[in-house]
Amino acid sequence: MREYLLTLFTTAAVTYLLTAPVRKFAIVAGAMPPVRARDVHREPTPRLGGIALFGGLCAGLLMASHLTHLTTVFDNGSDVKALLSGAGIMWVLGVLDDKWGVDALVKMGGQMVAAGVMVWQGLTVISIPVPGVGSVSVTPMQGTLISVLLVVIMVNAVNFIDGLDGLAAGMVCIAAMAFFLYSYRLLFGYSIEDAAPATLFTAVLIGMCLGFLPHNLHPARIFMGDSGSMLLGLMLAVAAISITGRVNPDLIIEQTGSQREAVHTLVPIYIPLLLPLTVIALPLADLLLAVVRRTWAGKSPFAADKQHLHHRLLEIGHSHSRAVLIMYFWAALFAFSTVAFSVTDIGRVVVLIGAGLCLLGIVVLLLPRFRPRTPKALQPLVPPRYRDSDDGEGAAEGVAEGAAEGPVGGVGRLSPEDEDLLQRLGSGASAAGHRSGTRGGTDG
């Protein structure tokens, strides 16, 4: 566990330290598109946060490659190489979209190319665990189709929820935490070495999200853009693919004494079928609803609108921060409830208690008079913009945010230094911003 924690903290630290200079670079590069009618922020905000996320990914893997236990992931397979190849393609595609804008179909093609490159390097589904049957082998063509489809669905599901400050990074972080607990249990609880790559990838993914969130929480100072959202979605997909079909049911059956015991008591052999879907249950539902809604209206499934789940939470009166917290708690409830089925006895009780607390958090957040704010004891530990002001208003809610503000979102104001930088750049950055694509790529 110490090596995983060291990798996680290294990834988080590098991502956090890179985000500030990346923000300056995004301003200079003109990656600040004007605010559109469907956006919830009120002022142009720099993007390209995916550059910092990719830097954190590389730093985390570099650290892991020098640790005694984690070096086996690099030596015993090609998963790391395949991940870096696919992530590099996806990241470059996202950077191009953040700066100049890329057509939705071209973007979809690029996602399929990235997935195909990973499959070609060996990162593919080999078999599928079926309850009551065991592992069912799939042909190379079927494995390729399943792997590419999973990557495309995960990438676009994360991209679709990147509409509020801190929403995508937070929900992916929760999903990665649940996936880490599951894969770590398989690795050290059942000695299944094939779970090692997924454990490492989810630890790195947690660090990427934690390092980026302080800059991205409401009011966001930088957006991750498509370069970040597609990278996070690909990381989740890679973790699912690297473990699905590689877990041998016989290993668990040997330890439990019977297949019935493995299925009904331990269950983890079948979790790979459910966990990738439940950890992104809300983004996936949002994706499906958006496709149905737009197709029914005679529009393209990629035509952006303002009817996503997080937009609806704002429309019914929730503040920006509260809407994000509600989505966080729902994601945690789905993900950790699923993980609870892979543990037994005391472990299951602990996870179920955590799921119950998530449900309690949702109920509390739905109370009309509740306003999330930073506790006074923790205010010295957080940046000034998250502290309560002297007049009692919560900085986490924004100075002027509340019922009177309705569905208006984050401020994303520039600092005086950034304003001076823009003034020195003249109209060049502004003109470049107008030529940029959408904030979140396909959907924002």
Cα 88 from Cα 86, distance rounded (Å): 5
Q: Which residues contact 107 (CB under 8 A, 6 or more apart)?
A: 93, 97, 226, 441, 442
Eight-state DSSP code of residue 248: -
Tell me the C-alpha distance between 204 and 60, whole Å: 6
Please enumerate, by residue number, every residue annotated as part of a binding site for Mg(2+).
159, 226
> What residues form the annotated binding site?
159, 226
Check the CA dihedral 231-236-242-245 and report its sign.
negative
Give the 3-state secondary structure percentages of the chain, helix then strand then coil, rounded to 5: 65, 0, 30
Angle, nearest 10°, between helix axes 416-425 and 2-29? Answer: 40
Q: What 3-state class would DSSP assign to 216?
A: helix
Smallest Cα–Cα separation from 224: which of 50, 438, 437, 42?
Answer: 50
- Mention every residue, 6+ apart, whose C-beta is less than 8 A from residue 289: 309
Classify residue 258 by its DSSP letter: S
